[in-house]
């Protein structure tokens, strides 16, 4: 029997936005509003994330409070994330938003390791774009901040050398040298002017190593999903230098981002769902989902290089 043609899935155009989202849910309305805002104008201010932190990521869900190490693989790069003393591993959306915010603060300060977190937990939540205090969300943010600042990252990158040999570079990075966040007050304390964290010099260097510019509106729109956040940031980075169509096997993308999915096909299904959302937020994004792989096509950059250079010089 003749083989059936491979099924291809293309991102939905904006004309499908109303049909897809309509007024059926708050999440759909937020996604539609964000898509229209992104298409209307450039961001007022850029966000950033260090290149190595895009290629290797944290767990999406809690791997267990007794799990002390997490491993991710991306081609020739490997990440070993270790929990700090008396703390578990950072996971989920909140530490991802913190890394993006920290990178932006460090870039704009010229590499100052002392980062002011705000006068209260409410203040810090606002800096992350969460704008709420109290309840489970506030407690989760405090917990994830403590886990992130107490963690240690080991990044290993293998490379070839002449005569068939190999070379391995290793970065052992403690996130923070000092921190003050575990006992945040919900509202400003007149006797406590500012909570802060002092990042380690190596972590600051990691943040400043070719940081990738990001539209914060894109991140906010997908931030309810750790997988959506990872894919959006990775696409910004990957398409920034793509000059010809590139196919990436789902099993390889699963190795980068799919630790919470035992089966590659389940991960691919979830990733396709997130890609459809990202496509609504990214005018001109071109990709195909074909059997066994994702094919990326050269696409307009989500943050244009010229605008990026101008904004970074002025630090708008």
Give Rg (Cα) of the chain: 20
**C-beta neighbour count of 30 within 10 angstroms:** 14
Q: Are residues 26 and 121 in the same domain?
A: no
* Percent of all residues in the chain with a pLDDT value above 70, rounded to a whole number: 79
Angle at 233 between CA 140 and CA 200, to 5 degrees: 60
> What's the distance, CA 191 to chain centroid?
35
Mean pLDDT of all residues belonging to the chain: 81
Q: Of 160, 189, 214, which one is at a domain's C-terminal end?
A: 214
* Average pLDDT score over residue span 72-83: 85
Q: How many domains does the chain have?
A: 2
Lowest-confidence region among 15-19, 23-27, 202-206: 15-19
CA-based max dimension of the chain: 79
Q: Are residue 52 and residue 159 in the same domain, yes or no?
A: yes
In degrees rounded to 5, what are phi and psi of residue 77? -110, 140
Residue 85 and residue 196 in one domain: yes
How many helices (DSSP H) and strands (DSSP E) are in the chain?
Answer: 12, 12
Element (H, E) at 157: strand 152-161
Q: Compute the distance between CA of residue 303 and CA of residue 249 in angstroms, rounded to an integer.
A: 26
Q: Percent of the chain having pLDDT more than 90?
A: 42
Can you tell me the mean pLDDT for 32-61? 84
The token pair that represents 120 in the structure block: 């209260």
Q: Give the global pTM.
A: 0.81
> Final residue of a domain: which of 214, 241, 271?
214
Residues paired with 34 in a beta bridge: none
Domain shared by 160 and 197, yes or no: yes
Q: Give every CB contact of residue 249 below 8 A, 6+ residues apart in sequence.
A: 292, 293
Burial class of residue 44, CB neighbours in 10 A (0-12, 13-18, 19+)? exposed
pLDDT, mean of residues 154-161:
78
In angstroms, rounded to a whole number, what is the distance separating the alpha carbons of residues 278 and 302?
11
91-133: pLDDT as tens digits: 999 999 999 999 999 999 999 999 998 888 888 888 888 865 4
Q: In this structure, are 1 and 134 located in the same domain?
A: no
Q: How far apart are CA 252 and CA 67, in angstroms?
A: 24
- How far apart are alpha carbons 43 and 47 in whole angstroms? 9
Name the residue with higher pLDDT: 295 or 284.
Answer: 295
Q: Are the beta carbons of 112 and 106 closer than 8 angstroms?
A: yes
- Domain identity same for 96 and 60: yes
Handedness of CA 51, 48, 232, 123 (dihedral sign): positive
Q: What is the pLDDT of residue 7?
A: 43
Q: What is the pLDDT of residue 165?
A: 62
Residues 29 and 54 in one domain: no
Q: Look up the domain containing 242 and give its range.
A: 1-41+217-316
Whether residue 92 sits in one domain with residue 25: no
- Residue 91 burial (CB < 10 Å; 0-12/13-18/19+)? buried
Orientation angle between helical segments 226-239 and 93-109, nearest 10 degrees = 40
Distance CA 271, CA 159 (A): 29
Same-domain check for residues 144 and 234: no
The answer to whether 247 and 84 are in contact (CB under 8 A) is: no
Q: Looking at residues 14-18, what average pLDDT do you find?
A: 47
264-274: per-residue pLDDT in tens?
999 999 999 99
**Residues 184, 128 share a domain:** yes
């Amino acid at each position: 029997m003749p083989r059936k043609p491979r099924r291809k899935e293309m991102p939905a155009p904006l004309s499908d936005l109303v049909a897809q989202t309509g007024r059926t849910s708050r999440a759909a309305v937020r996604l539609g509003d964000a898509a229209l805002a992104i298409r209307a104008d450039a961001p007022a201010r850029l966000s950033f994330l260090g290149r190595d932190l895009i290629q290797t990521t944290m767990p999406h869900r809690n791997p267990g409070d007794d799990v002390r190490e997490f491993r991710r693989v991306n081609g020739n790069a490997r990440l070993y994330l270790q929990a700090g003393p008396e703390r578990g591993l950072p996971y989920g959306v909140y530490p991802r938003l913190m890394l993006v915010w920290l990178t932006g603060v460090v870039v704009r300060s010229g590499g100052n390791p002392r980062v002011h977190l705000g006068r209260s937990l409410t203040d810090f939540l606002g800096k992350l774009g969460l704008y709420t205090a109290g309840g489970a969300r506030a407690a989760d943010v405090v917990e994830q901040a403590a886990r992130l600042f107490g963690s240690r990252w080991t990044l290993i990158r293998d490379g070839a050398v002449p005569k068939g040999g190999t070379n391995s570079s290793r970065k052992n990075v403690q996130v923070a040298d000092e921190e003050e966040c575990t006992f945040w007050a919900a509202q400003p304390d007149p006797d406590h002017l500012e909570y802060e964290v002092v990042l380690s010099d190596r972590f600051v260097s990691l943040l400043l190593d070719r940081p990738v510019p990001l539209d914060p509106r894109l991140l906010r729109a997908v931030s309810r999903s750790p997988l959506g956040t990872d894919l959006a940031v990775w696409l910004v980075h990957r398409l920034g230098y793509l000059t010809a169509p590139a196919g990436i096997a789902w099993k390889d993308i699963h190795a980068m981002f799919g630790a919470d999915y035992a089966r590659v096909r389940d991960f691919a299904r979830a990733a396709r769902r997130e890609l459809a959302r990202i496509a609504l937020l990214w005018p001109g994004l071109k990709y195909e989902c074909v059997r066994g792989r994702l094919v990326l096509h050269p696409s307009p950059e989500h943050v244009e290089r010229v605008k990026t250079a101008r904004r970074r010089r002025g630090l708008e």
